[in-house]
C-alpha cells in the first residue's frame, strides 16, 4: 500500500511541472511562431491526460493557455464588431486590387495582418471569421453596410450601357466629386494617371447610371483606356466596390 501511494505522489509531482511547460510553451509560440506545431501537439496530449485523470488543472490549462484564450478573444471580438457594424473578415497577404470591396455574400469588408503568413492565424483569424459569418447567417447583415443589389462586373456594365449618361464632375486629388438629385458625393478613386502640372491632363471619361434608389454605378475610362466600374451606396454615399473590366 505504501509503495502504491508513493507511485501516485510521483505521478502528481510530474503533473504540475508539465502543466507549466504546456502553459508557457503556448505563449512562447507567439514569439517563435514557426515552431508552433510541436508545443501545440504537446498541449493537446497533456490536455487529454488531464481529462482522463479528471484533474483540477484541466480548466486552468484552458484558462491560461494561448491556444484556448486567443480563439476565445477572437470569437468575442467577432461578435462585438458585428454588433458595432465594424466586422471584418481577416486574412493574410498583400491587399491587391479589389481587396477593399465589400464581400458580396456576408456584406463585410476584409482586413489583412500582413504579407507574411505567421502560423498563428488559425487561432486569431479563423474564430473571428467563423463568428462573423455565423452572426450574419443567423441575424442578417451588420448595421451600416450596403444591403441592396450587388451587381457583377457584367451586370454593372450592362446597367451603364442601358441607362448611363455622361457625368459632370470635379476631381480633388484622388477623389471624384459630383451631385445626384442635389445630393453631393465624394468618391475615392483607386487609380488615375495624373500628368505633370505643366502638361494638360485629360480628364477621364465618366458615365453614371442609377439603379432604383439604392445604387450608383460609375464607369470610368482613364488615360490608358482602362475601364473601371465603381459601385456607390446612394444613401450613404460610400463606395463599396470597384471592378476592372477586362477588354
Q: Which of 139, 163, 187 is the last residue of a domain?
A: 139
Shared-domain flag, residues 19 and 41: yes
Shared-domain flag, residues 16 and 44: yes
Q: Which of 112, 139, 166 is the last residue of a domain?
A: 139
Question: Residue 144: inside a domain, yes or no?
Answer: no
Is the per-residue pLDDT at 214 higher than 70? yes
Question: Residue 148: inside a domain, yes or no?
Answer: no
pLDDT level of residue 33 (50, 70, 90 thresholds): low
- Residue 173: the pLDDT is 76
Shared-domain flag, residues 48 and 85: no
Domain range for residue 121?
Answer: 72-139
Q: Which of 44, 64, 84 is the last residue of a domain?
A: 64
Shared-domain flag, residues 44 and 101: no
In terms of average pLDDT, the best of 57-71, 127-141, 168-182, 204-218 is 127-141
Question: Residue 194: inside a domain, yes or no?
Answer: yes
**Contact criterion met (CB below 8 Å) for 106 and 140:** no
Least confident window among 16-20, 32-36, 45-49, 111-115: 32-36
Is the per-residue pLDDT at 194 higher than 60? no
- For residue 28, the number of C-alpha atoms closer than 13 Å in the C-beta half-sphere is 12
Is the per-residue pLDDT at 199 higher than 70? no
Pairwise CA distance, residues 123 & 145, whole Å: 27
Shared-domain flag, residues 96 and 48: no
Least confident window among 6-10, 68-72, 86-90, 164-168: 6-10
Per the structure, how many domains does the chain have? 3
- Residue 77: the pLDDT is 95
Cell of 192: 488615375
Is the per-residue pLDDT at 164 higher than 60? yes
Q: Read out DSSP for the chain?
A: -HHHHHHHHHHHHHHHHHHHHHHHHHHHTTTSGGG-HHHHHHHHHHHHHHHHHT-THHHHHHHH-HHHHHHHHHHHHHHHHHHHT--EEEE-S---TTTTSPPTTT--EEEE--SS--S-HHHHTHHHHHHHHHHHHHH-SPTTS--S----HHHHHHHHHHH-EE---EEETTEEEEEETTEEEEEE-S---PPPTTSPPPPPEEEEEEETTTEEEEEEE-TT--EEEEEEETTT--EEEEEEE--
- Residue 247: the pLDDT is 64
Average pLDDT in the 6-12 region? 50
Amino acid at each position: 500500500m505504501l509503495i502504491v501511494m508513493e507511485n501516485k505522489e510521483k505521478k502528481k509531482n510530474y503533473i504540475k511541472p508539465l502543466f507549466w511547460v504546456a502553459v508557457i510553451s503556448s505563449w512562447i509560440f507567439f514569439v517563435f511562431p514557426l515552431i508552433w506545431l510541436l508545443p501545440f501537439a504537446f498541449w493537446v496530449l497533456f490536455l487529454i491526460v488531464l481529462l482522463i485523470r479528471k484533474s483540477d488543472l484541466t480548466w486552468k490549462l484552458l484558462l491560461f493557455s494561448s491556444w484556448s484564450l486567443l480563439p476565445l478573444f477572437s470569437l468575442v471580438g467577432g461578435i462585438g464588431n458585428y454588433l458595432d457594424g465594424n466586422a471584418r473578415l481577416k486574412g493574410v497577404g498583400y491587399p491587391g486590387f479589389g481587396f477593399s470591396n465589400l464581400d458580396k455574400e456576408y456584406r463585410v469588408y476584409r482586413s489583412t495582418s500582413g504579407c507574411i503568413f505567421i502560423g498563428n492565424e488559425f487561432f486569431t483569424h479563423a474564430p473571428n471569421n467563423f463568428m462573423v459569418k455565423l452572426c450574419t447567417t443567423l441575424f442578417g447583415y451588420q448595421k451600416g453596410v450596403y444591403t441592396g443589389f450587388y451587381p457583377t462586373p457584367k451586370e454593372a456594365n450592362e446597367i451603364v450601357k442601358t441607362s448611363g449618361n455622361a457625368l459632370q464632375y470635379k476631381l480633388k486629388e484622388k477623389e471624384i466629386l459630383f451631385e445626384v438629385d442635389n445630393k453631393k458625393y465624394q468618391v475615392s478613386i483607386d487609380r488615375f494617371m495624373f500628368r505633370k502640372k505643366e502638361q494638360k491632363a485629360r480628364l477621364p471619361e465618366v458615365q453614371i447610371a442609377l439603379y432604383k434608389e439604392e445604387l450608383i454605378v460609375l464607369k470610368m475610362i482613364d488615360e490608358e483606356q482602362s475601364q473601371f466600374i465603381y459601385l456607390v451606396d446612394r444613401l450613404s454615399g460610400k463606395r463599396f466596390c470597384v471592378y476592372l473590366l477586362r477588354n
